[in-house]
Amino acid sequence: MHETYFTGGVFSSSIDGGRAGADIELAHDAIKASAKDGQLFTLRYSDCNVEMGGFNNKMVFCRNEDRSLTIFTEDKKFSAALAFAAGGLLDDQLQAGKNKVKSDKRSGRNFVLICMVCLVVGLTGLYYGIKIAGSAAVDALPVSVDKQIGRHTFTGMELGGEEIHDPVIVGAMETIVERLAPHAALAGLDYEVHVVRSEQVNAFALPGGIIVVYTGLIEHADQPEQVAGVLAHEISHATLRHGLERVGQSLGVAAAVNLLIGNVEGLVVLGAEVFKLATVNSYSRGQETEADSEGVRMLHAAKIDPLGLAQFFEILKEEGNGLPASLEWISTHPDHQARIINIRGLVAELGPQDYEPLDVDWDDVRRRVDDMN
Amino acid sequence: MDYEFLSQPAASVARMTMEEGESLTCEVGAMIAMTTGFEVETTTRKRGGKGGGLGKALKRMFAGESLFLNHFTATEPDQSLIIGPQMLGDVMHFPLTGGSLIVQGSSWMASDTDIEIDATWQGLGKALFSGESMFWLKCTGEGDLFLSSFGAIYEVEVDGDHIVDTGHIVAFEDTLQFSIEKAGSSWIGSFLGGEGLVCRFQGQGRLFCQTHNPPSFGQTLGPKLKPR
């Protein structure tokens, strides 16, 4: 059984203000509305045009042909009661109204979805746009920025041992670097070699060309070409600007924004902090492979046998089982067996070369290092 | 209760003359001046309403109003109360005779104590893009309603469709439905033209608009202010 009486309102020019609240009755052949001011309005079902709408899209409006009279209500039960009272006369209009409400809801949801997708795409694009622009800005930076970051990092850095100034040992390292330097992929770096007394089998190069070699590394090398291989690999990190790439990745959008607004000093300070907080040798696997390739190319061009690098890996691999803690350099360079194979492949690809021995008295260097212990 | 508006439309205030026992519910901070014969009561619900009303009060907060309502009751004859909006602009009177008026968050200033003021959700799309508060205030009942605007208020008698720029709506009758859409035929043209999104009203009823738009005013003024 459907209800007959509802609360709603009326629009009519005969009402003061054009609108009034009303009590609505679904009579035998018409909708009757009794306005608050006492006026009575009648709308026959056969003359009724039904619409759905209102603020919440749940109101039912019944209008006459010229829209001079509108009777409406928000009552949820009105729609079904009207269909019943009109004897099926208004079913099509009521169904069309319901379909319109559903369509409106669907359109609203789609609109929100499209806006959200646009927002997400826009923000993602902005994020990656800044990163790409930042990366391009890194490439465009002068080498002086690398030097500043390297110097800033090296100043006050805990090296893990006393720096030694033995002219034979330091001179040997400088000789190796001098042979490699002319063949570096990036011109303008100032190479500066520091030798540190420590059991660590380690070496690293900071952005800008500061190179640190530990005596532990020299002790484990049978030939100077093996040390040259390690140094070529480390110098490649500096010449390929892996340090700045790492700063960019660690600082993300902050570095990109700093670069884009031209705040190079800010980047230098932030970049040095990144190096101080992380291990100096913590490059990505991709960067390590790239440094291997570039190191081999540099050694080949400098007429230093690149197989020295592979041989050093093999020495460490053999000795490594008993000395895991001290093998700092190899521990930051994982999967060395694969790298030995890779290096040998690279050397084979480069073709024949007249390798020239390094002008270093390696026995004397090793003896002096041993004497220090 | 009699009322008159002063200094319209740029810096309007409303002066109420109330007889003993008459009450008016106002937004917090609306009172500018009053005679001494008033009792002021502050609650989270409508005057005389039952229950704590905290839920509705919180919803009102989301709509840009205060958690609390101030109820001014004249305890002596011929008392005068002057109330005004926070922003520079106009005030208007709307006699609510049944049905509901949907009011933009911060435009409700005062109403008869019998009128129920509740916040109503407008849907996510409208909440994000209408340029108004997340919620609207739904004022229901019978009695006097006083609204405020930023700039002057004008009335539009809608019968069919009417388009208003976002941020310019003060209030509209609940028989109107509105949707958000682009201003022009294309998205690019809409945004390059500076209009962006607009509100399309459909149906039959009265719509009240404000001549100025608070967010646009803030965006114009903000960069010119010196940092504190």
The tens digit of pLDDT for each residue in B178-213 reads 888 776 666 666 555 555 678 889 999 999 999 988
B155 CB-side CA count, 13 A: 10
**Contact (CB<8Å) B177/A70:** no
Helix (H) or strand (E) holding B41: strand B38-43
Residues of chain A with pLDDT under 50: 321-326, 328
Q: Does B222 touch chain A (CB under 8 A)?
A: no
Q: Is the pLDDT of residue B76 over 90?
A: yes
Mean pLDDT value across residues B159-169: 89
- In chain B, the residue whose alpha carbon lies closest to the alpha carbon of A68 is B159
Fold of B2-224: Double-stranded beta-helix (3.60.160)
Q: Is the pLDDT of residue B47 over 50?
A: yes
Please check whether residue A41 is in contact with residue A25, taking contact to mean a CB–CB distance below 8 angstroms.
no
Whole-number pLDDT of residue A111:
75
Among the partner-chain residues A17, A36, A54, the one whose CB lies closest to the CB of B174 is A54
CATH entry 3.30.420.40 includes domain A5-101: no
Mean pLDDT value across residues B165-179: 89
Q: Is the pLDDT of residue B65 over 90?
A: no
Q: Does B36 touch chain A (CB under 8 A)?
A: no
Pairing of strands A192-197, A210-214: parallel
Among the partner-chain residues A36, A53, A70, the one whose CB lies closest to the CB of B177 is A53
**Contact (CB<8Å) A54/B95:** no
Distance CA(A262)–CA(A21), nearest Å, equals 67
Of residues A37 and B147, more confidently modeled: B147
Distance CA(A240)–CA(A285), nearest Å, equals 14
Among the partner-chain residues A9, A20, A55, the one whose CB lies closest to the CB of B177 is A55
What's the 3-state SS for A174-198? Answer: HHHHHHHHHHCCCCCCCCEEEEEEC
Q: Does A6 touch chain B (CB under 8 A)?
A: no
Q: Is the pLDDT of residue B73 over 90?
A: yes
The CA–CA distances, whole Å, from A250 to A136, A245, A316, B161 equal 16, 9, 30, 55
Percent of chain B predicted with pLDDT > 90 = 40
Mean pLDDT value across residues B142-154: 92
| CB neighbourhood size of A186 (10 A) | 14
DSSP label of B193: T
Whole-number pLDDT of residue A175:
94
Instruction: Provide Rg for chain A, Cα atoms.
Output: 41
Whole-number pLDDT of residue A328:
46
Residues in chain A with CB shorter than 8 Å from the CB of B125 are 108, 111-112, 115
**Contact (CB<8Å) B128/A17:** no
Q: Does A70 touch chain B (CB under 8 A)?
A: yes
Whole-number pLDDT of residue A298:
94
Strand order in the sheet with A19-26: A40-44, A30-35, A19-26, A5-12, A69-73, A59-63, A49-53
Q: Which of A312, A286, A163, A152 is nearest to A231 (CA)?
A: A312
Among the partner-chain residues A9, A54, A112, the one whose CB lies closest to the CB of B98 is A9
- In chain A, the residue whose alpha carbon lies closest to the alpha carbon of B159 is A67
| CB neighbourhood size of A347 (10 A) | 18
The whole-angstrom distance between B100's CA and the closest CA on chain A is 10
Total count of residues recorded for chain B:
228
Residues in chain A with CB shorter than 8 Å from the CB of B115 are none
Domain boundaries, chain A: 5-101, 142-372
Exposure of B227 by Cβ count < 10 A (0-12 exposed, 13-18 middle, 19+ buried)?
Answer: exposed
Whole-number pLDDT of residue B192:
58
Whole-number pLDDT of residue A325:
44
Residue ranges with strand state E in A15-152 = 19-26, 30-35, 40-44, 49-53, 59-63, 69-73
**Contact (CB<8Å) B100/A104:** no
Q: Which of residues 74-113 of A touch B (CB under 8 A)?
A: 74, 104, 107-108, 111-112
Q: What is the mean pLDDT of chain B?
A: 83
Please check whether residue A31 is in contact with residue A42, taking contact to mean a CB–CB distance below 8 angstroms.
yes
**How far is C-alpha A311 from the geometric centre of its chain's CA atoms?**
38
Whole-number pLDDT of residue A64:
92
Mean pLDDT value across residues B50-75: 70
**How far is C-alpha A183 from the geometric centre of its chain's CA atoms?**
34
Whole-number pLDDT of residue B208:
96
| Three-state secondary-structure class, residue B23 | strand
- In chain A, the residue whose alpha carbon lies closest to the alpha carbon of B142 is A21
Among A55, A69, A70, A71, the strongest candidate for a mutation testing the B interface, having the largest count of B CBs within 10 A, is A55
Confidence band (pLDDT; 50, 70, 90) for B172?
Answer: very high
ipTM value: 0.71
Q: Does B141 touch chain A (CB under 8 A)?
A: no
Pairing of strands A40-44, A203-205: unpaired
Of residues B20 and B193, more confidently modeled: B20
Residues in chain A with CB shorter than 8 Å from the CB of B124 are 112
Whole-number pLDDT of residue A269:
73
Of residues A70 and B123, more confidently modeled: A70
- In chain A, the residue whose alpha carbon lies closest to the alpha carbon of B178 is A55
The whole-angstrom distance between A21's CA and the closest CA on chain B is 5
Among the partner-chain residues B98, B129, B202, the one whose CB lies closest to the CB of A20 is B98
Please check whether residue A176 is in contact with residue A233, taking contact to mean a CB–CB distance below 8 angstroms.
no
Domain boundaries, chain B: 2-224
**Contact (CB<8Å) A55/B159:** no
Whole-number pLDDT of residue A323:
46
CB pairs under 8 A between A and B: 71
